[in-house]
Every structure is written in C-alpha cells, then in structure tokens.
Structure 1
Amino acid sequence: MYHKLKQNDKNIYKLILIKIVWRWGFVYECIPEVMTFKECQNILKVGKNTLLDLIHTEQIQAFKIGNRWKIPKRSIIEFIQYR
C-alpha cells in the first residue's frame, strides 16, 4: 500500500507512524536524526511561537542552515525525558 501513495500522502503516513511509535513508547528509530522546524512542531504538538521560545531559551538545542531551523533528534528526546 505504501508504494502506491503520492509523496504528500507518504509524508502524512510517516507522521502517523511516528505518532504511533511515540505514543506507545517504542524506540525513537522512526524519527529522523535532524528534523525540520515543522516536523518538530508536529512531534511536540506545539505552535510556532512556543517552539521558537523553547529554542531561544535553550530548552531545545537547534541550529540554523541559512534561514531554516534544524533540530537534532537527541535534543527533542532530552527535552521530553527531562521535562
């Protein structure tokens, strides 16, 4: 079924899979090593301003490439575990 989906549908399918894995406490293997800002928002279920606040207060480590934020997976895992 997965190979018959359009690209946008594949991305949605991956996000659903990540949420299922996350919710059931499985290993964080389905999450990419470095996430985009939007992927991080979806995983944490927070808005743009909240995520920016977390980054600027250094609760979540992130870096910029050009004008785009990139967030390492380990940063999100640490934030969730120690929150």
Structure 2
Amino acid sequence: MFEQEDALLTIDELCSILMIGRNTAYRLLNSDAIKAFRIGRCWKIPKAAVRDFLEASHTVL
C-alpha cells in the first residue's frame, strides 16, 4: 500500500492498513499519536506519519 503515488490516506485506508476500527483510528488521530490534519471534516493522514507510528510502536514492544 505504501508504494502507491498518493501521499495521503483516508480514515478507511488507515483502518485497513493498521487493521483497527474507526473509533480507534479517530482516537489515534485526536491524541496526535499519528500526525494528521483535517480539511473540513475529512482527515488526511500522511503515509510517512503512519510509517513513523509503526516504527515507534515497534520499538516500544
């Protein structure tokens, strides 16, 4: 999924990549665990932010 040209993900794509529900995704975004931004009501999540989150989570475990 990270090889595609789009640099931004949607909530649904984030949920699919991390295998989490929408509530958990919103919780991660609102707590700044994953750095993202909103345009109106739509969240835009940079792929690099997801990669950083996964790397940080992996070092904690």
Partner in structure 1 of residue 28 of structure 2: 54
Partner in structure 2 of residue 36 of structure 1: 10
Q: What is the Cα deviation at residue 31 of structure 1? A: 6.7
Q: What is the Cα deviation at residue 32 of structure 1? A: 2.8
Q: Could you say which structure has the greater relative contact order, defined with CA pairs below 8 angstroms and 6 or more residues apart? A: 2
* Superposed CA offset, 1:1-39 (max 9, x none): xxxxxxxxxxxxxxxxx3xxxxxxxxx323731011111
Q: Distance in 2 between matches of 1:70 and 1:56?
A: 12
Structure (1 or 2) with the greater helix fraction = 1
1:63 and 2:32 equivalent? no
Gaps of 5+ in 2: none
Q: Distance in 2 between matches of 1:45 and 1:31?
A: 21
Q: TM-score, normalised by structure 1?
A: 0.63
Aligned equivalent of 1:45, options 3, 19, 37: 19
Greater Rg, structure 1 or structure 2? 1
Runs of 4+ in 1 over 2 A off after TM superposition: none
Q: TM-score, normalised by structure 2?
A: 0.82
Q: What is the Cα deviation at residue 58 of structure 1? A: 0.7
Gaps of 5+ in 1: 1-17, 19-27
